[in-house]
Amino acid sequence: MLPLALEGIGFSAGGRDILSGIDLVLEAGPRTMILGPNGAGKSVLMRVCHGLLAPTSGRVLWSHPERPGEPRRQAMVFQRPVLLRRSVLGNLTFALAVAGAPHDEREGRALTALDRVGLLPFAHRPARVLSGGEQQRLALARAWMLEPEVLFLDEPTANLDPGATREIESIVQSIHASGTKIVMITHNLGQAQRLGDEVLFVDRGRIAERTPVDRFFRNPATAEADAFLKGELPWH
């Protein structure tokens, strides 16, 4: 379904323009890191891409548009994982049922998915008693299991300690290696360097620049990105 093209995307809420004039093409392959200050519109941009928010103007074009009722070929992992009050395994089989997977395949696929993120021993525990890091690994397992072409991640490690963050990063690498396009918002610049191929720098509702990761951190093209990296806030 890639590439994804955004044409003239604008998004307003409560009389405020959160996104304006966004033109963007996301191709399969490179891992895209979305960086930018708080309130720049990163999360809204990702939700527009994923179809959770309808843009106020412009068009979101997938090369193969999604049809209602068909399983989605894209997935998203949120900052705070939303898990159902049922077992770890039950959370995965629910997602498979929604995706229309045949009944007799669900448990096997779910167990494989748990094994890949190291949660197999927890299969029959209630999902909501897992630690924060384990819950996020479960959310990743759920997304990965659905074999999406694109995986959107909105600050998946923002609430996690360094150990859990490393585990999440390694899973994201594996998902990328299995052929899924990674699009990720992060405030952790080290993480962006470790996981990213290119940086999409969002500033005040616009895409200020798009640069390969190593160049962005060495020599950003815009003054805003330069200031962001130096920790300055010239827009205040």
Partner 1 sequence: MSTFGAAFGEAFGLIGAFDPELLDIVWLSLRVSLSAVLISTVIALPCGAALAVTRFPGRDALVVIVNALLGLPAVVVGLTIYLLLSRAGPLGAFGILFTPAAMVVAQAVLIFPLIAALARQAVADAWREYAEQMHSLGAGPVASSLALLHDLRFSLVTIVLAAFGRAIAEVGAVMIVGGNIDGVTRVMTTAIALETSKGDLPLALGLGVVLLGIVLLLNVGAHLLKERAQRHHA
Q: Is 13 in the site for partner 1 (CB under 8 A)?
A: no
Residue carrying the six token digits 């890639």: 2
**The only residue of 15, 65, 82, 104 in contact with partner 1, by rule CB under 8 A:** 82
What is the Cα gyration radius of the chain?
A: 18
Structural contact between residues 94 and 86, judged by C-beta atoms closer than 8 angstroms: yes
Q: Is 95 in the site for partner 1 (CB under 8 A)?
A: yes
Segment contacting partner 1 (CB under 8 A): 6-14, 57-65, 125-133, 209-217? 125-133
Please identify which residue in 13, 25, 61, 98 interacts with partner 1, judged by CB under 8 A. 98
Alpha carbon separation from 59 to 113, 207, 233 (Å, rounded): 34, 16, 32
Q: How many residues bind partner 1 (CB under 8 A)?
A: 22
Contact segment (CB under 8 A) with partner 1 among 7-15, 90-98, 162-170, 221-229 equals: 90-98
| Cβ partners under 8 Å of residue 14, min gap 6 | none
- 99 part of the interface to partner 1, by CB under 8 A: yes
By the rule CB under 8 A, 97 interacts with partner 1: yes
Nearer to partner 1, 113 or 208 (CB): 113
CB closer to partner 1, 56 vs 193: 56
Q: Which of 84, 223, 234, 235 binds partner 1 (CB under 8 A)?
A: 84
Q: Identify which of residues 98 and 233 has a Cβ nearer to partner 1 in the complex.
A: 98
> How many of the other CB atoms lie within 10 Å of CB of 113?
24
Q: How far is Cα 138 from Cα 144, in angstroms, rounded to an integer?
A: 10
Stretch that binds partner 1, among 54-62, 122-130, 168-176, 210-218 (CB under 8 A): 122-130
Q: CB under 8 A: which stretch of 93-101, 103-111, 185-193, 204-212 binds partner 1?
A: 93-101
Distances 148 to 26, 73, 179 between C-alpha atoms, Å: 15, 5, 9
Shortest gap between Cβ of 95 and partner 1 (angstroms)?
Answer: 5
Query: Of these, 33, 44, 49, 76, which contacts partner 1 (CB under 8 A)?
Result: 76
Does 166 engage in binding with partner 1 (CB under 8 A)?
no
Where does this chain bind partner 1 (CB under 8 A)? 47, 50-52, 71-72, 75-76, 78, 82, 84-86, 94-95, 97-99, 126, 128-129, 146
